[in-house]
Structure 1
Amino acid sequence: MITTRRQADGAIVVEIRGILDAATVDPVRSQLLGVLQRDRPRLLVVDMMFVTFMDSSGMRALVAAHGAARDIGARVQLRNLSEFVHRQLRITGLTDLFGVPAVNTGGYRL
């Protein structure tokens, strides 16, 4: 499930719930890229508190959103990472790309 809301500061928050894998990633990728193209926020926050699993296709969707944001002068910020998601990003070297600390202290929150 995906929900989207605009914050008072203009940032758009996309909350993802459940499993983010090859079978479920297409709507997530479409939502992230669509928000960037349509609304052109300066900041896209991806809240992953309720993501229970993420494979490489989920990571590719996040990287695609990062690239699309960069192309329009925006940025993507990941928020509320579970230990599992944080470990996946760390193992693949994507923590630096998203500015996520290398050490997860009980769930990464900004």
Structure 2
Amino acid sequence: MLITHRTQNPVDIVDLSGSLVMGDASTKAKKKLLEVVEKGQAKVVLNLAKVTFMDSTGLSVLISALKAARSKDGNVALLNLAPPVQSLIELTRLQQVFGIFQDEAAAIISVK
């Protein structure tokens, strides 16, 4: 799991790549996302374009970030979902909870 972070004030953009599954990768991702929320404005866009696979542990990472952001009056949007990730999000109906975007500018606006 590779995680990069950049800021487009006041929005934090986190690019994730690889598999987000049970194990060290998800633990590292969760820790990094919660750190981004705590240190930033709690307005986060998660770019998942390069996430090739995700299981229920990966979903819990996303939900943890969303809960942390909302506790600080922020929000989390998902960007560029790969087809397997999109299918999992739809299967679990999380598209009703997260804003899902294909355009980074639209995702940024949605969390401001």
Report the 3-state secondary structure (helix = DSSP H, G, I; strand = E; otherwise coil) of the residue aligned with 1:73. coil
Letter in 1 for 2:28: P
Matched residues, number: 101
Structure with the higher fraction of residues in strand conformation: 2
After superposition, give the CA deviation of every residue in 1:39-65 in whole Å (9 maximum; x if it has no partner): 2x2520000000000000000010011
Letter in 1 for 2:94: L
Report the 3-state secondary structure (helix = DSSP H, G, I; strand = E; otherwise coil) of the residue aligned with 1:45. strand
CA distance in 1 between counterparts of 2:47 and 2:39 reads 19
Equivalent position of 2:49 in the other structure: 49
Pairing 1:59-74 to 2, within 5 Å after superposition:
59-74=59-74
Pairing 1:22-101 to 2, within 5 Å after superposition:
22-23=22-23, 24-39=25-40, 41-100=41-100
After superposition, give the CA deviation of every residue in 1:50-101 in whole Å (9 maximum; x if it has no partner): 000000000001001111110000000100101110100000111111033x
CA distance in 2 between counterparts of 1:91 and 1:47 reads 20
Structure with the higher fraction of residues in helix conformation: 2
Report the 3-state secondary structure (helix = DSSP H, G, I; strand = E; otherwise coil) of the residue aligned with 2:64. helix
Equivalent position of 2:102 in the other structure: 109
Identity among equivalent positions (%) equals 32
Equivalent position of 1:6 in the other structure: 7
Q: Which runs of 5+ in 1 are unaligned?
A: 101-107
Shift of 1:10: 1.7
Q: Which runs of 5+ in 2 are unaligned?
A: 104-112
TM-score with structure 1 setting the length: 0.87
TM-score with structure 2 setting the length: 0.86
Regions of 4+ moved over 6 Å: none
Letter in 2 for 1:43: K
